[in-house]
Amino acid sequence: MSRTNKNSEAKVQALFDRISSTYDTTNSAISLGMHKRWRKKL
């Protein structure tokens, strides 16, 4: 893997780490709780 790809992967991982803790809360607020029902159906 090239250095550029490793750098890109690191940036994506850092972004995910920053948003993952608030993603579910935000998703719940935006969807008014519908995402929980969607997950159960899947």
Q: Supply the pTM of this predicted model.
A: 0.49
Q: Determine the distance from the C-alpha atom of residue 42 to the mean position of all C-alpha atoms in its chain, rounded to a whole number.
A: 18
Mean pLDDT within 4-17: 90
**Residue 25: per-residue pLDDT:** 86
Residue 41 and residue 14: Cα distance in Å, rounded? Answer: 31
For range 1-5, the mean pLDDT: 73
Domain ranges of the chain: 3-41
| pLDDT (average), residues 22-26 | 86
Mean pLDDT of 11-39: 87
Write out the DSSP string of 1-42: --HHHHHHHHHHHHHHHHHHHHHHHHHHHHHTTHHHHHHHH-
Say what the pLDDT of residue 1 is.
59
